[in-house]
Structure 1
């Protein structure tokens, strides 16, 4: 009888251990070198080679134009060449043919901007002349931008279209030395996030489009296709409603996309991983206690490592300059913060 009881207790322990392990989330946030510039929100980021660049934004008093670069070996340093445009927040950045272009956004007078400036990463210098915006996007903030095969893409946002102000937008453009308007099958939206995996872009969520994920594959553009594919919705049918948010960040590690921070009904602490081969989302470890909830942050990937920095809590007066690395395969460890 005693032996039978022990067997039953052992079986129950295995059962509960198995059930508990199914609910364990994986992922670890690791404190990294703090951003060297002024704490800010609404900045832009881009990566060229072994360096990530972060600049522009808003520090709670003024729009900014300073840029800093970061490498895993050297940490943060300021770019000596000054961004030639007016200070701004909620701008975008993309690469095209080895150069980087930063533009759009809103200035200190809440005027939306329609200019772009070219940065040469080989010399860390800016071209002081704004590029030709003929056939390009109109003035806006909160747009998305990405690069595929040396061509830049910009679209959505909030601003002017056909003379109308205060309007969410859905128009899209590509840039390969000149601007060309392209079709977009999605909704008008602002403050979405975007990441690129295997030369396909994924635009996720955003205000007015919380449940949508759109994939853009330029190789599929034809007479019968705009190149856009609507992926599985972020809704409760898939238990993915917590992915929905605006003003989030995203980055890519080992062929998977990650989305974190941002806001829905409140600030989001959940972290989700997207596998494009399965069109499937998996929840990872949320922001740890030491990582402040935030929106309007930026993120970047270096050598298959994902980083998050800057951001704010709107209305609180809090602006951040801390930097965190996310390891999606490591168990949570608060002692490494």
Structure 2
């Protein structure tokens, strides 16, 4: 089962406000097959994407690819050796890629295995499955739709939902130097799946997603040194005169990336697929709307950052189509319409 939001979808994006800043550039298509619910991140200045589901082939995928922005070139790496799956998570830590959790479409269970990819040897190695270091309750349920990020060489995964659709808020860290998982402070807000995270400096920022059928509007920052969550301003207009700006950032199955010390959320939606883009400034704890994503509106896409530039690719619109197109975003450039 894929993580699906309502099937009434908007057919394409549009820019109704010419005053919005930011420019999307359409690049060459992703070299792999079209897909949705893939996973991706950045490692050693390369973008990584793999797994997911291809509607045309009715197939969950195991292939993995890297994108070199300097050469504008894709290279296929060794296939993921675990079960093909959707809604997995990935993070980069200590020079290696880590991929795990998700749903394989056949077992009925959600997964908790994790794998390490070494780019030097082009080999995958299975690591410890997701677990707690609490001797009294070490078992952790398999999940899909978890949220992942890395800070200072340590990877973190949180939340997600189990086979019954129940959402969680627990968080675990994997330290490659130790080779084991440890339980960290529970996420400070509502339980959730399909949220987004971005890292600025030494802090991770987490918001959006779906929480047992509702769409939360809370927003939190994680301090890894203190193992502590701090609540920030909400991501919706709540009539607070200090930042009342008609915010409408609430959504699920979106993507996030960073550029020049700011965080960005794009695509996703609630009830329909979205195209709007929001920029977060950590120095003011405020959001600014940017030029809308210029491809077809979508959800379950993948995003990564290379050299301070955000890239968005793949995803789906509706329940029978998926994409292989790719776009680059310059948040400070004036809008120029794509051909």
Report TM bin, short chain.
Answer: 0.7 to 0.9
Report Cα offsets for 1:61-89 as digits up to 9, x if no partner.
Answer: 11111001001133343434221101000
1:46 and 2:50 aligned: no
Point out 4+ residue stretches in structure 1 off by more than 6 angstroms: none
Q: Hey, what's the Cα distance between the residues in 2 that align with 1:80 and 1:250?
A: 24
Q: Hey, what's the Cα distance between the residues in 2 that align with 1:38 and 1:258?
A: 26
Name 2:10's counterpart in structure 1: none
- Distance change (3 Å), C-alpha of 1:66 and 1:105: same
Name 1:16's counterpart in structure 2: none
Report Cα offsets for 1:274-295 as digits up to 9, x if no partner.
Answer: 001100000111123xx10000
Q: Return the TM-score normalized by structure 1.
A: 0.85
Unaligned runs of 5+ in 1: 1-21, 222-226
Following superposition, the deviation at residue 95 of structure 1 comes to 2.2
Aligned pairs for 1:183-198 (under 5 A) are 183-184=185-186, 185-198=188-201
Following superposition, the deviation at residue 204 of structure 1 comes to 1.4
1:217 and 2:195 aligned: no
Aligned pairs for 1:1-337 (under 5 A) are 24-60=19-55, 61-109=58-106, 110-127=108-125, 129-135=126-132, 137-159=140-162, 165-176=164-175, 177-184=179-186, 185-208=188-211, 209-221=215-227, 227-236=228-237, 237=239, 238-288=244-294, 291-315=295-319, 317-334=320-337, 336-337=338-339
Q: Return the TM-score normalized by structure 2.
A: 0.85
Higher relative CO (Cα under 8 Å, sequence separation at least 6) belongs to 2
Unaligned runs of 5+ in 2: 1-16, 133-138
Q: Hey, what's the Cα distance between the residues in 2 that align with 1:262 and 1:86?
A: 26
Q: Hey, what's the Cα distance between the residues in 1 that align with 2:46 and 2:232?
A: 32
Structure with higher helix content = 1
Report Cα offsets for 1:193-252 as digits up to 9, x if no partner.
Answer: 11000021000111125311110011233xxxxx10010011222235411110001110
Instruction: Note the aligned Cα RMSD (angstroms).
Output: 1.7
Q: Hey, what's the Cα distance between the residues in 2 that align with 1:141 and 1:58?
A: 14
Aligned partners of 1:91 and 1:142 also within 8 Å: yes
Query: Of the two, which has the highest radius of gyration?
Result: 1
Following superposition, the deviation at residue 24 of structure 1 comes to 1.1
Q: Hey, what's the Cα distance between the residues in 2 that align with 1:189 and 1:285?
A: 28
- Distance change (3 Å), C-alpha of 1:201 and 1:38: same
Following superposition, the deviation at residue 98 of structure 1 comes to 2.2
Name 1:19's counterpart in structure 2: none
